[in-house]
Amino acid sequence: MKRILENNKKWVSEKLNDDPEYFNKLSLGQEPRYLFIGCSDSRVPSTAITGTGPGEMFVHRNIANMVVHTDMNLLSVLQYAVEVLKVKVIMVVGHYGCGGVAAAASNKQFGLIDNWLRNIKDVMRLHEREIISIYDEEARLRRLVELNVIEQVHNLSKTSIIQNAMLTDNPPKLYGLVYDLKEGLLRDLKVNVNSFKRYEHIYSVTEESEMV
């Protein structure tokens, strides 16, 4: 902890050296343009890999960058980001070499986390034909990381929060990105949110309900 506190003091003095009002300005409020939904993996630091600083990015991280519709933590972050902060861009960021995805792809038991990772097994079920057609294990896991990001963007688009936001004049744009640990590069998977409209008749919750 000593190292952390010393690093913090050093960072404060560097920032104040550049701008004596730096912290005063930040304390006035935040207007982040981005919401980052990423993996908890320590090698995927949200602000460092995107070149953003304090005040620019609202962040939610969990194991394997999941968007689970019963996750109150994620839903609260999402609602606040969309309805109060009015972020312009929401990105789901997966990464190759994700331990959570690899664990889900195996049949081993890891404890409580298996219940969280079960959601990735659902991604495997949805894309089983493609997944089993890739014989090389690393290539198969890399593709599963990408498919997981695409499915999480789909999950995101079907939350009531995003469905309602899409009815407004200036809805946030949704992106799915994948980060390569070996290169440090982020790649846009060009997830076509419109392709999810195929299932609109199932997922849409935008009609008024009649009180009974």
Residues designated catalytic: 39, 41, 43, 95, 98
Q: How far apart are CA 151 and CA 144, in angstroms?
A: 10
Which of the ranges 80-88, 98-106, 107-115, 159-167 carries the binding residues for Zn ion, by CB under 5 A? 98-106
CB of 82 to Zn ion, least distance (A): 24
Size of the residue set binding Zn ion (CB under 5 A): 4
Q: Does 146 bind Zn ion (CB under 5 A)?
A: no
Please choose, out of 11-19, 36-44, 53-61, 188-196, the segment that lies near Zn ion by the rule CB under 5 A.
36-44
Q: Is 117 in the site for Zn ion (CB under 5 A)?
A: no
Residue ranges in the chain assigned as alpha helix (H):
2-18, 22-27, 46-50, 72-79, 99-105, 113-126, 128-132, 137-157, 160-165, 200-203
For residue 129, the SS3 value is: helix
Q: Which is nearer to Zn ion, 32 or 100 (CB)?
A: 100
Which residue from 116, 201, 87, 104 is spatially nearest to 145, judged by alpha carbons? 104
Q: Identify the three-state secondary structure at position 106.
A: coil
Stretch that binds Zn ion, among 41-49, 69-77, 143-151, 193-201 (CB under 5 A): 41-49
Asked if 41 interacts with Zn ion (CB under 5 A), we say yes
Question: Alpha-carbon distance 178 to 92, whole Å?
Answer: 8
98 binds Zn ion (CB under 5 A): yes
Name which of 98 and 174 has its Cβ closer to Zn ion.
Answer: 98
Binding site for Zn ion (CB under 5 A): 39, 41, 98, 100
